[in-house]
Structure 1
Amino acid sequence: MRRRLIQSTLAVVLVVIAVFGVSLVIVETRTISESARERVESEAVRLASIVDSRILAAEKITPDLLGDQLGGDQYAVIRIPGRAPIEIGDKPDGDVIEATRRGEERETVTVQEPRSAVFREVGRTLLIIGAVALLAVIAAVLLALRQAGRLASPLTDLAETAERLGSGDPRPKRKRYGVPELDRVADVLDASAERIARMLTAERRLAADASHQLRTPLTALSMRLEEITLTEDLSTVKEEATIALTQVERLTDVVERLLTNSRDPRTGSAVTFDLDEVIQQQLAEWRPAYRQAGRAIVSSGKRHLKAVGTPGAVAQVLAALIENSLMHGGGTVALRTRVTGNQAVIEVTDEGPGVPADLGARIFERAISGRNSTGIGLAVARDLAEADGGRLEMLQASPPVFGLFLSRTPVRKPEEDERTVR
């Protein structure tokens, strides 16, 4: 591109020089020739007037007397009736420019100038025109180099940006070049980089959430299957198989929930459900793990509470809190239910040291963990709670108390309000 731009600029300049330069040479040559002819005629008129004045004054006319009246290259012949011709200067050889003027005393003055003087003047003019044309060519090449660099460098940067996008580095460069067309391309590439970055972030978040959310149901399902392999009692096998099927259904619900949240984190299918059923399900699911750890998990508080939300999502939130207490807490874990205003609250607490003071409210941020864990469990739990119109808060740091707040009144949908108005 750089070479093509230089060649095209140079071609344009050469065409302009050829068109205007040739015209200028023709005009200047004609002008110089006309000027030389007018100069010779003017010299003839002037010399004739001088001769007239001297004849009238009865002065003697000699070549020495009139020698300083002509230029160095000019030659003059004065013919006076009854006298010998008077020659002034050296007679030129070759082609000449000649002018003859008759005086009032019947004398004739002829002035000649060699045409070579005109050629020399034309040559000097051509030399000046050629020098100007050469300077114009040099200036055009320098300007073309500058413009080529100004255009080629941004294109190289844009190519590097596109290559980075293709290699998986979606960082926008946010560099502009002062050329509207190139800046437009840079804007599009930066916007594409931001979209790709958001897509990659969403994919990584989905993968992290999926690995975290599926780990607990898979662990519980594995434990049920181990129970089946270790027993020969048919009734126990049926019971464990039924529980395993429940775990499979929960896995399916978790996967659907993850996919739904990846498309739109606010799309929930909230219904009115019994909190006791979800709590008892979690107790049954986590008791084997707590027994292995030599700890207990219990529930207390108000019974037969109804709440609005997605049972699967609420179960996942409670599972995250219970698992968090198992990994980071100590002693007995208690699930307490209570009512505050129009909300049902499930509190999860344990007898451990609690949340470190340096974490505080940051405990719900992704990648924030008090120990060597993923740091996404509580963040995912809060997202799930908010997707159902609830909220998850840390009510107390030590001993730790986390509260899941759920509405007890179904949220009226816009279409229901519209039917009511009608």
Structure 2
Amino acid sequence: MRQRVVRVALTAALVAVVLLAVPLALAIRSTLYADQRDTLERAALSGAVRVSPDYVTGDPVELPAPPAGGRLGLYDPALRLRAGTGPRTGDTVVRRALAAEVVRGRAGGDLVVAVPVSHDEQVIGVVRASSPASAVRDRVLLAWAVLAGVCALALTVAVLVARRQARVLAAPLEDLSRHSRAVTAGDLSARAASSNVAEIDQVARTHNEMLHSLTELLRHERDFTANASHQLRTPLTGLQLTLEAGLAEDDDARLRPVIEETLATTRRLHDTVEEVLRLSRSRGRSGSVTPDTMVSRLVRDTEGRWHGLFAGDGRRLECETRDVPDDVLVPGAPVSEILGILLDNARVHGRGTVRLTVRDLEDALAFDVGDEGEVEVEGGGEGGTARLFDRGHSGGGPGEGIGLALARDLAVSLGGRLSLAGRRPATFTLLVPVRQEGEDVKGGG
């Protein structure tokens, strides 16, 4: 930011200096040469006034002093030097002046001005004034050097001013960036300070207002989570206690399996509530700590829970683990919840035999859940596949179409990934990082 401001200011100053200095340099050069020619012309005119017509008969001529470093001479119509200093024979400039006109020109590296001397409407001589052009050139170079120094000083001042202005402009933006990083790190109390720049202050105010709104939204969400936790846990716990008491007291062989199944369902519902609440509390943090479960046990429990439901619909559920070591651990509750969502999705929207396959990928496990149906993707391509995991994608009423979205969020919270592996037959793949007993997580999905 600072360097960009300095570059912009320096570029603008450089363009302004060039646009001003180049014409000024040319004007200085033209002016100095014109002044020198004017000086020579004045000297020649002064000499022409002093020339008497009798000089042709030998009368002496007293010419004024020549210009500094120059020469002043009188030439007769035969181009001979009769008085003063200069070439012994008149040059082209003198010859042209014999036509009764003042001539300015160059000759042999000198600036030359020739003024005719007239008497009775006849030119009786020419006064020639000259000076070295190098003297004027030196003055031009000196003036250009002074001009270049002034331009350099102007650019230096421009850089210093630009750097100061860059600090003034960049400081509040850098402060806003620091506060944004603090918010990203979890400090929701960070607020951007005001500055003396109206536009940046507007951005800071908008940032603070947005942060305040987000803070309030998160507070309401936490309050809702706490309230939902209390309101759901209490009746579930009471229901479990009632079922356990009924199971202990009732000896009816017909009711006992029903009570046991209902009790198992309430426990799974309790685990689901706990997992959803854990996901809400750990939003934005992957790999949150959850109890680990052996993969083989997880697959057995899942098969036992869902086999009867599929059998009741006249469908089969096949579970298989391919070369998965017995000591591999995965977070039990969230993985079980994700598999439950995928199996329920296959039960409701799929058809035919449903297969749950676990594959070992060394640092991760792949859980494939597929059936014999087909997944219809709106729009096709990766965009359509991604919309499968959007909340409300199914287009149903309130609460509909959140299963796959919840499963995806649970997978991300574990450091894994959930994706659609195949559209026909429909197959979803869950990648979960694993670890051996007594080891930390080996890798993420």
Shorter-chain TM range is 0.3 to 0.5
Q: Name the larger-Rg structure.
A: 1
